[in-house]
Amino acid sequence: MAIREIRISGDEILKKRSREVEVVDDRIREILNDMDETMHSANGVGLSAVQVGILKRLVVVDVNYDGSPSLKLVNPVIVKQKGEQEVEEGCLSFPNQFAKVIRPKEVTVKALDENGKPITIKGKDLLAQCLAHEIDHLDGVLFVEKMEEGTLQYIDPEEEENK
């Protein structure tokens, strides 16, 4: 496994639509494992392949904080959503920037797992938010495009550390 470089705001690849994965093979599993390691090393809860410069429909998510394995999803699609929640959201591609956005309260996602088997995930609250955020990335949609006007904040990590 390897930690990959996370693309940050201004990188044009973040605005591109990712391509479907045709075959889930060892190369795809390697990318998913690298993404998982990269996400954890950056203290994130989700990461899409486009954020590490790969235009494939791959997502990793870990909102549990309990050591359980991350969700590794291939070709994820939201097939159902319910309700709304206003959340403060950040993104590893927009370091130290946060804004209020509206996300679904609940989602149902169909995807393939890292072995190419079909799976269905039902997520609420933070998991729903994270899945919606990462799937948006696969379509070139960034959270700053969905933010409520005037809510973007920059938090200086050095100031936070000194508190």
> For residue 91, which of 33, 30, 3, 10 has the smallest C-alpha distance?
10
- 34-50 tens-digit pLDDT: 999 999 999 999 999 99
- For the annotated catalytic residues, the residue numbers are 134
Cβ neighbourhood burial of 13 (10 Å; 0-12, 13-18, 19+): middle
Question: How do the domains of the chain map onto residue ranges?
Answer: 12-161
- Which fold is adopted by the domain 12-161? Peptide Deformylase (3.90.45)
Question: Which whole number is the average pLDDT over 113-136?
Answer: 97
- 66-101 tens-digit pLDDT: 778 999 999 999 999 999 999 999 999 999 999 999
